[in-house]
Amino acid sequence: MIPKTIIIITGPTAVGKTSLAIDLARQYNTSIISADSRQCFQELNIGVAKPPRVHLEEIPHFFINSHVITQEVHAGTFEGYAMDAVSRIFSERDIAIMAGGTGLYIRAFCEGLDSIPQIPAGVRQQIVAQYAQSGMEWLHQEVEKKDPLFFAEGEIRNPQRLMRALEVMIYTGKSIREFQQQKKITRNFSMLKIGLELDSDLLKRNIQHRVDEMIEKGLAGEVRQLITYRGLNALRTVGYTELFEHFDGKISLNEAIEKIKANTRAYAKRQMTWFKKDKEITWFDARNVDDVKKWVELKLKIKN
RNA sequence: GGUGCGGUAGCUCAGUUGGUAGAGCAAAGGACUGAAAAUCCUUGUGUCGGCGGUUCGAUCCCGCCCCACACCA
């Protein structure tokens, strides 16, 4: 019996993950699970570089257009969703494909997250509101008092982490540190992790082209329609925040475009910083996707 | 041609009552287990427009020149 295998394609934004995934999905006659924290939202289209509609119709995709922006989606949501999706794919196929650039989501899928109770939304809302009002000093004091364990070793200058620690403490009465065992779960299928990379000048050029293309396709119009939802997490996204600023009259359209390009570059850099640490990834030059295909074929043969 | 305001880090600018200079953004590196396209940390030598003068010492004061902008002719 052939072992079930998922081919995971990752790398920075605008290297060409999507088109490689589609090629492989065709070749192995299977489906794709997107590992992208923004493409899952129906309302976000031009700005998040979804696969073209024809391809979405040709090949089944999971976690694309699967949610609406008012839903809360996070790494835990993805883990559950993606585990369900692979098992459905594996019930009919031996190979599945995952493609995306959200490192935390991919890790959640591959290794699992430590189980922490679901915190009711209201708990966080209160903390966020209090933080907005009273600021960092208050947050520090709260966490130092309520969760000294986290305060001693956590990222105490990062408000998001502090607020997360606080909500877990308030709701469960235990430090988030006690939950975070960093235990890797072993999945009952095998994985081939592929990284696509590109010389930084070339990647910059790709980003530039892609952003210009998004503008031509009408990104500004898409963003304008979503302006009333700007407070939602789904819209704290490169391409959207900069255009909101433009519609506020703070910056010109050209400035917004330049900012989108710069922020996309910074995002790509953060992605590389994350992925470089994953020693299971085999890297390929994005210009030689045929090498990837050959390598995948070889690996799958060995497995048989 | 005259007057005014400027010329400081890749960009936008702050500053030094004369002791060779600093923020934001960019850039580079890094962290990150339920906000992750998010969030956070680290890294700043640049003929302070050019040439001369005053001074122990000038980017800062003075003179001339060049460049940009505005206004007046």
E runs forming strands in A53-113? 61-62, 95-99
What pLDDT, in 10s, does the model give residues A225-265? 999 999 999 999 999 999 999 998 888 898 899 999 999 99
pLDDT reading at A109 higher than 90: yes
Question: Shortest CA–C1' contact from A49: which nucleotide?
Answer: B37
pLDDT reading at A303 higher than 80: no
Residue A17 to residue A9: CA distance in whole angstroms: 6
Of A46-50, A172-176, A181-185, the range with the lowest mean pLDDT is A181-185
pLDDT interval class at A304 (50, 70, 90): low
CA of A267 to C1' of B7 (A): 35
What pLDDT, in 10s, does the model give residues A192-208? 999 999 999 999 999 99
Residue A260 to residue A264: CA distance in whole angstroms: 6
CA of A262 to C1' of B71 (A): 39
Residue range A95-114: mean pLDDT, rounded: 97
- Tokens 């835990």 appear where? A76
The distance of Cα A261 from the centroid of its chain, to the nearest Å, equals 19
CA of A237 to C1' of B60 (A): 45
Residue range A80-101: mean pLDDT, rounded: 97
How far from each other are the two terminal CA atoms of chain A, in whole angstroms? 8
Question: Shortest CA–C1' contact from A119: which nucleotide?
Answer: B34
- Tokens 């976690």 appear where? A63
pTM of the model: 0.92
pLDDT reading at A152 higher than 80: yes
Residue A110 to residue A232: CA distance in whole angstroms: 28
pLDDT value at residue A2: 61
8 Å CB contact between A272 and A10: no
Which is nearest to A295 in space by CA: A202, A196, A206?
A196
Residue range A284-288: mean pLDDT, rounded: 96
Q: What is the ipTM of this complex?
A: 0.93
Contacts 24+ apart (CB under 8 A), A89-94: A89/A30, A89/A31, A89/A33, A90/A4, A90/A189, A93/A28, A93/A29, A93/A30, A93/A31, A94/A2, A94/A3, A94/A4, A94/A5
pLDDT reading at A89 higher than 60: yes
Question: Shortest CA–C1' contact from A156: which nucleotide?
Answer: B40
Bases of chain B within 7 A of a CB of the protein? 25-41
**Mean per-residue pLDDT over chain A, rounded:** 94
CA of A45 to C1' of B67 (A): 48
pLDDT reading at A46 higher than 70: yes
